[in-house]
Amino acid sequence: MSKEFLKSRKVLRNRLLNTGAGILLLFISFSLSAGYFSNKRSAEEMDKARSLVAEGKIDDAIKVYQSIIEKYPDSDYISQAWFEMGKLQYQKQAYDKSANSFEQARKNPGSKEQFRETTLWLGKSYFQLKNYQKVIDLVAGAYDDFRDQQSKIELSEIIFLSCKELKNYKNAILWLGKYAEAGGTKELDKAKALVPEWLSALKDSDLEEIYNQPGPEWIQGEAGYILGMRYYQSNRLKESKEIMQSLLKRYPDSPHRSELNQMIAQADQLLQVVPNRIGLILPLSGAYKSFGERALKGSLLAAGVFQYPKSAHQFEIRVEDSYGDPDIAKDAVKRMILNDHIIALVGPILNPVASAVAEVSEQLNVPMIALSPAPGITDRRNYILRNCITKQSQVNALLDWAIGEKKFTTFAVLYPDDKYGNEFAQIFAKEVRARGAELIKSVSYAPEETDLREAISALEPRALTQGIKKDPRPLPVPFQALFIPDAYERMGIVVPQLLYYRIQPQLLGTSGWHTEKIFEHCRESYLEKAVFPDLFYPELTSKEFDDYRFKYQQAYNEDPSLIDLQAYESVALIIDLIEKQKITSRKELLDAIKAIKNWQSPLGPVSVNASSEFEHPLHLFRIEKGKFVAIK
């Protein structure tokens, strides 16, 4: 290959390279000039838009910003144009448009500061659009990145309000605290007034989280107070005492200071329990003295006081006289709990006293076995139990006999329109249907009504016209048995009127009829063959009862009765559980009592149901010629 050829090829190559570099330079130069031109023009347009804003021409300014975005998409001012346009749209309350503009502005922000500011405005737009969860997701995590106070105030406010709208009260409270710490004042007093209500709606774990975080006293202090009270009421006395003490240490001027000190002292007293010490609150003077003395005798027998050699139980019985007075009884029970440190309470017997004492026992978390039929005494209470014949057990016993043995399939209820009658009627109706039988009629009457014609007509429409005919035969009615859950005193009004109109089905009554006094109000013949349940009768025979009767007669030289049996059973059960399960706390004892199934008693196997009521097998009685005859 000649030298001339090689030389010419090298020259050609250099020319080509020079030509390519030129083209590249031209391209770069053009691009730079185009970018420069775009930035220059968009900067001029931005100034124009800002001038229009200054003149109050908001709509015109928005059009200019939109023009910049459309004409100069590669301009360095695009993000700023979106941002400034978004603020104008927000000003015009076009929040959906402002949210879109801020979202676009966040895609390529010019600086970290611009990104933070855009985030704040986007959060405010979401809030106005009621997209509360979006507010929280967007700005909650960015809060600590903000340095200026005003931004922190605005951010914490919209997060707090968003949490509030979503009913996320835990986070609402936490962000309200940050809002207050940042210096926010708008509607702060109104929000502070809601804090106790919100805190009360939170779970214990949420209260613990709030209490253990830094914040203002009106949040943290209130959270600690509510948590401490909850622990106290749920018998977590040690934890309650600890949190109350820490609360006073952290906030020595707490508005709850006096109450907290009192509760700490009371927790100290309640934490002291003598496991072998049982309290009794009974009417040992006044009109019901005989009932109280009977219950006391049964309780002392259960504790082994009269056993020789001395009982191995080694249990103490602390006794207080209720005097039949609710206030006196409450004070007496408080003394036994706080000073004598009893593990449990048995009694009272009288309804008003039992209801009052139940409040104290529940408040102080002391198991109480009431010997009273006081309505609703165990309702919505955890520490109150009742050893008294129940409505459910009476209905079960009646229907076991009426449906199971007599094969009755149709029933009616005639009941007083009061709490006692309504509860019985509801239980009876539910149980009849559950057993596959039919409730034909359920008719009520005013508790003090003496003229029952309207109720009788509702039971059987023909009664008022055909029932009065002189005919010895009963009037045919569509039910085989009639349940009348009313007091024995009322039978002298109800039963004669039924007979007058020849309504004579099988009568079913309640344990309240098991008294000779019923015949003082109603003729024996009118009640012939009426059936009712009860828990006890003197002729009762069983090994457990025979043993009890022997010990009772030996100790007191008299026959036992239902009230001393129920007191005996209650105290004996407590002693048995404590000894066998090595129980040392009130909560352990409460749980053990509630778990009782078929515990052997002189009254038969006893269980505690879901309503904290003692359940026993009942006995059925029929009235025959003025006598109560056991039929089952």
Q: What is the DSSP string of 234-297?
A: TT-HHHHHHHHHHHHHH-TT-TTHHHHHHHHHHHHHHH---TTEEEEEE--SSTTHHHHHHHHH
Q: Which residues contact 601 (CB under 8 A, 6 or more apart)?
A: 544, 569, 572, 573, 616
Q: Tell me which residue has tokens 């709208």.
A: 165
Strands of 368-370's sheet in order across: 316-321, 277-282, 344-346, 368-370, 384-386
Contact 351, 372 (CB under 8 A): yes
- pLDDT value of position 471: 77
Contact 579, 313 (CB under 8 A): yes
Q: Tell me which residue has tokens 């009765």.
A: 561
Q: Which residues contact 301 (CB under 8 A, 6 or more apart)?
A: 548, 551, 552, 555, 564, 568
Contact 248, 284 (CB under 8 A): no
Query: pLDDT tens digits, residue range 39-67?
Result: 888 888 899 999 999 999 999 999 999 99
Distances (CA, A) of 233 to 226, 227, 360, 380: 10, 10, 12, 13
Domain residue limits, the chain: 41-222, 277-386, 391-534
- pLDDT value of position 233: 82
Q: Could you confirm whether domain 277-386 is CATH 3.40.50.620?
A: no
pLDDT along the chain (632 residues), means of 10: 51 51 42 60 89 93 91 88 93 94 89 90 94 92 86 89 91 85 78 85 91 85 92 86 93 92 89 95 96 96 75 83 97 95 96 95 94 89 93 93 97 95 96 97 96 96 82 91 96 96 96 93 96 86 89 94 95 96 95 97 93 92 94 78
- pLDDT value of position 542: 83
User: With left for phi above 0 and alpha for psi between -120 and 50, is residue 529 left, alpha or beta?
Assistant: left
At 308, the amino acid letter reads Y
Q: Tell me which residue has tokens 């936490």.
A: 174
- pLDDT value of position 486: 96
- The class of domain 41-222 in CATH terms is mainly alpha
Strands of 531-534's sheet in order across: 438-445, 410-416, 481-483, 506-508, 531-534, 619-624, 627-630
How far is it, in rounded angstroms, from Cα 42 to Cα 65? 9
- pLDDT value of position 361: 95
Tokens of 152: 């922190």
Q: Where are the alpha helices (DSSP H) in 140-203?
A: 149-165, 169-182, 188-200
Domain 41-222 and domain 391-534 have a common topology: no
Q: What is the CATH number of domain 391-534?
A: 3.40.50.2300
Strands of 614-615's sheet in order across: 599-601, 604-608, 614-615
Cα 584 to chain centroid distance, Å, stands at 28
Cα 251 to chain centroid distance, Å, stands at 30
